[in-house]
């Protein structure tokens, strides 16, 4: 058996294949969900920090401006020089900016986030680096016009020397109109990448291990589940015609294999029964053939023992042998009919004829036989009953029934043959007032070679072989015409056989 011919291997492969698909889908799903949630967490962290920083910066700038305004008012009284005043204001603005930006930057309390504050010209005012010396740089686009938060990713390089960076950028409108600032908060993507990498590694290890274990487990289970099959096939291999009585083991009658074994056992039982039947047939047949042969042999032996015999002695011997030969021929003929019927190869020579005419004709033939036994044969038939079937076989059926009826009816008795037609069914009944069939034998009389009273039927065999095949053949003939033959009644007052045949006139 090639490896792939084994159900066990195929089952295991299917199992592992399906599990691999499930695990793959599961891993991809988990990975995608984790990546998404990590990104969302990063984004919302950056966004929150940025918002907080923006409001801090605005507040610091406002506070600084308010303080400066107070100082300027006080100084105005001392120095009245206009130029110095303007210069002082510009200087103050720079200072305020710086201080506000510085304290804003210092306020950020996430060590993983870097922050930078630029003025409108792109000049860095203040910044604070994050862990790992990450600086928030000027974003790769022009100054943004509104105050919304922009999120962007700067990809890392291939070798992993520089990590990717996620940035949140926002414009902050300061107290002085026309002088906005840009706050950039940045965070390295390394932590996210590392977490995802760890998950990937877990999958790389766990999935193959899970598949290997599942494969081994599946193989073991398949072997266990299919073990009864191996036992069954080993046992089945040992069964032949000689030990058809053996049966396959049924581990669990309710499961599929148990049902298979039970079905197989049923088949064996049927085969066994038909083998037994065949064997019985052979035994019965040889037994039937042996009797006339041994009678002939004895007759010949006895006749030849004396060198000279009279003509009448030779004639008697030959007549005896002729009777046995005819009997033998009849038995062989009957067996041949049944063998061909069994094989479904007995030809039906169908023709159209009148059944009542056939019955009348058969009754006339039977009367000659009956006359010798002083048995009367009466006929009562419906007239003009057209029929389509094998006339020869139906004649044989009637003769077999009549032969039995006459044979088992004592002198002075009568046999009634009748034909009735109702609902397209012809009923042919053969009734006698003979000895009847013992109740114990009634169920068996249609079996081949069965005789209720062996000595009598053989001794009195006239038309039939007396081998116990007559009723078996008669029943087969009725069935070959889609009908059936039954013993309707049999007791001390006689027996009634009825053949029911559907009228199938073409
Ligand atoms: P056989 O060749 O012995 O007649 P059959 O198959 O025709 O064989 O009949 C089987 C047995 O049925 C007979 O041996 C006989 O005992 C019984 N039987 C059949 N028909 C009748 C009948 N009309 N009356 C009594 N017994 C009958």
Tell me if 102 sits within 8 A of 87, measured CB to CB: no
Q: Give the residue-averaged pLDDT of 273-280.
A: 87
pLDDT of residue 80: 47
Q: How many CB atoms lie within 10 A of CB 263?
A: 11
Dist. CA 336–CA 285, nearest whole Å: 11
Tell me if 500 sits within 8 A of 488, measured CB to CB: no
337 three-state secondary structure = helix
367 three-state secondary structure = helix
Pick the range with the lowest mean pLDDT from 36-50, 176-190, 215-229. 176-190
3-state SS of 56-122? HHHHHHHHHHHHHHHHHHHHHHHCCCHHHHHHHHHHHHHHHHHHHHHHHHHHCCCCCEEEEEEECCC
Nearest residue to 394 via CA among 259, 500, 492: 500
Q: Which residues of 122-148 are buried (b: 16+ CB within 10 A; e: fewer)?
A: eebbbbbebeeebebbebeeeeeeeee
Atom of ligand 1 nearest to the CA of 446: 6
More confident residue, 454 or 49: 49
pLDDT of residue 139: 83
Q: Nearest residue CA, atom 20 of ligand 1?
A: 404
Dist. CA 498–CA 485, nearest whole Å: 6
- pLDDT of 36 above 60: yes
* Ligand 1 centre distance from Cα of residue 407 (Å): 9
Q: What is the pTM assigned to this prediction?
A: 0.59
What does each C-alpha distance from 476 to 80, 328, 401, 420, 449 come to in angstroms?
144, 21, 13, 21, 14
Out of 429, 451, 498, give the residue to mutate to test ligand 1, the one with the largest number of ligand atoms within 8 Å of its CB. Answer: 451
Dist. CA 114–CA 95, nearest whole Å: 23
Q: Give the residue-averaged pLDDT of 491-501.
A: 95
* Ligand 1 centre distance from Cα of residue 457 (Å): 7
Q: Which residues of 162-183 are buried (b: 16+ CB within 10 A; e: fewer)?
A: ebebbbbbbbbebeeeeebbbb
- pLDDT classification of 288: cutoffs 50, 70, 90: confident
pLDDT of residue 62: 83
- Give the largest CA-CA distance in the chain: 187
- pLDDT of 291 above 50: yes
pLDDT tens column, 406-447:
999 999 999 999 999 988 899 999 999 998 999 999 999 999
What does each C-alpha distance from 155 to 158, 160, 169, 453 come to in angstroms?
9, 10, 16, 109
Q: Give the residue-averaged pLDDT of 163-173.
A: 88
pLDDT tens column, 296-338:
999 999 999 988 889 999 999 999 999 999 999 999 999 999 9
pLDDT tens column, 359-400:
999 999 999 989 999 999 999 998 899 999 999 999 999 999
Question: What's the burial of 472, exposed, middle or buried (CB within 10 Å: 0-12/13-18/19+)?
Answer: buried
Dist. CA 476–CA 398, nearest whole Å: 12
Out of 431, 457, 463, give the residue to mutate to test ligand 1, the one with the largest number of ligand atoms within 8 Å of its CB. Answer: 457
pLDDT of residue 96: 81
pLDDT of residue 177: 56
SS percent in the chain: helix, strand, coil, step 5: 60, 15, 25
Cα–chain center distance at 423: 46
* Ligand 1 centre distance from Cα of residue 446 (Å): 9
Domains, the chain, with CATH or none: 3-196 (no CATH), 238-346 (1.10.287.130), 348-502 (3.30.565.10)
Q: Give the residue-averaged pLDDT of 54-83.
A: 70
Atom of ligand 1 nearest to the CA of 497: 23
pLDDT of residue 226: 86
- pLDDT of 225 above 70: yes
pLDDT of residue 454: 64
- pLDDT of 73 above 80: no
- pLDDT of 59 above 90: no
Nearest residue to 257 via CA among 237, 217, 230: 230
Strand order in the sheet with 376-381: 376-381, 414-422, 425-432, 494-502, 484-491
pLDDT tens column, 94-115:
788 888 888 888 888 888 999 9
Dist. CA 334–CA 467, nearest whole Å: 9
Q: Give the residue-averaged pLDDT of 479-486.
A: 95
pLDDT of residue 94: 77
Tell me if 407 sits within 8 A of 443, measured CB to CB: no
Q: Nearest residue CA, atom 23 of ligand 1?
A: 405
pLDDT of residue 344: 84
Q: Nearest residue CA, atom 13 of ligand 1?
A: 451
- pLDDT of 30 above 80: yes
**Which residues, judged by CB distance below 6 Å to any ligand atom, belong to the binding site of ligand 1?**
400, 404-405, 408, 432, 434-435, 437, 445, 450-453, 457, 464-472, 495
**Rounded mean pLDDT of the chain?**
87
- Helices 190-238, 256-305: inter-axial angle, 10-degree rounding: 20
* Ligand 1 centre distance from Cα of residue 83 (Å): 151
Pick the range with the lowest mean pLDDT from 61-70, 266-275, 410-419. 61-70
Atom of ligand 1 nearest to the CA of 457: 3
Dist. CA 461–CA 352, nearest whole Å: 32
* Ligand 1 centre distance from Cα of residue 60 (Å): 128
Q: Nearest residue CA, atom 21 of ligand 1?
A: 404
Rounded to 5°, the CA angle 364-369-370 comes to: 85
* Ligand 1 centre distance from Cα of residue 488 (Å): 14
Out of 375, 397, 404, 429, give the residue to mutate to test ligand 1, the one with the largest number of ligand atoms within 8 Å of its CB. Answer: 404
Sequence-ordered list of residues with C-beta below 8 angstroms from that of 494, at least 6 positions apart, any chain = 409, 413, 431, 432, 433, 434, 436
């Amino acid at each position: 058996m090639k490896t792939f011919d084994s159900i066990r291997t195929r089952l295991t492969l299917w199992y592992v294949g399906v599990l691999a698909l499930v695990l793959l889908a599961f891993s991809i799903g988990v990975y995608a969900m984790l990546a998404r949630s990590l990104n969302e967490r990063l984004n919302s962290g950056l966004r929150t920090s940025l918002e907080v920083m923006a409001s801090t910066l605005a507040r610091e700038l406002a506070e600084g401006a308010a303080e400066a305004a107070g100082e300027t008012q006080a100084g105005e009284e001392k120095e009245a020089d206009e130029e110095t005043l303007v210069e002082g204001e510009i200087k103050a603005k720079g200072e305020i900016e710086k201080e506000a930006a510085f304290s804003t930057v210092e306020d950020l309390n996430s060590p993983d986030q870097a922050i930078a504050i630029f003025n409108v010209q792109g000049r860095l005012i203040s910044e604070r680096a994050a862990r790992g010396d990450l600086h928030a740089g000027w974003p790769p686009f022009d100054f943004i016009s509104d105050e919304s938060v922009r999120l962007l990713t700067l990809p890392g390089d291939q070798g992993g020397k520089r990590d990717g960076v996620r940035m949140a950028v926002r414009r902050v409108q300061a107290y002085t109109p026309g002088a906005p600032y840009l706050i950039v908060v940045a965070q390295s993507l390394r932590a996210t990448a590392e977490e995802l990498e760890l998950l990937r590694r877990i999958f790389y290890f766990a999935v193959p291990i899970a598949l290997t274990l599942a494969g081994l487990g599946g193989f073991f289970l398949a072997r266990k589940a299919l073990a009864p099959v191996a036992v069954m096939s080993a046992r089945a291999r040992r069964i032949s015609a000689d030990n058809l009585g053996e049966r396959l083991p049924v581990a669990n009658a309710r499961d599929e294999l148990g049902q298979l074994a039970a079905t197989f056992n049923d088949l064996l039982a049927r085969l066994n029964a038909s083998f037994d039947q065949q064997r019985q047939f052979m035994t019965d047949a040889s037994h039937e053939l042996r009797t006339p042969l041994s009678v002939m042999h004895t007759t010949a032996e006895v006749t030849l023992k004396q060198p000279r015999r009279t003509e009448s002695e030779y004639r008697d011997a030959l007549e005896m042998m002729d009777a046995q030969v005819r009997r033998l021929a009849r038995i062989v003929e009957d067996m041949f009919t049944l063998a061909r019927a069994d094989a479904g190869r007995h030809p039906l020579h169908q023709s159209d004829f009148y059944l009542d005419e056939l019955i009348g004709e058969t009754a006339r033939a039977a009367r000659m036989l009956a006359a010798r036994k002083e048995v009367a044969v009466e006929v009562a038939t419906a007239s003009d009953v057209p029929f389509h079937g094998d006339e020869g076989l139906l004649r044989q059926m009637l003769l077999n029934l009549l032969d039995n009826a006459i044979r088992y009816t004592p002198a002075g008795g009568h046999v009634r043959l009748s034909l009735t037609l109702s609902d397209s069914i012809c009923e042919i009944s053969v009734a006698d007032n003979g000895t009847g069939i013992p109740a114990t034998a009634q169920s068996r009389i249609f079996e081949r070679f069965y005789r209720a009273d062996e000595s009598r039927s053989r001794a009195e065999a006239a038309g039939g072989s007396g081998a116990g095949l007559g009723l078996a053949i008669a029943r087969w003939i009725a069935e070959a015409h889609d009908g059936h033959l039954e013993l309707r009644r049999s007791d001390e007052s006689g027996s009634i056989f009825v053949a029911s045949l559907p009228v199938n006139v073409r």
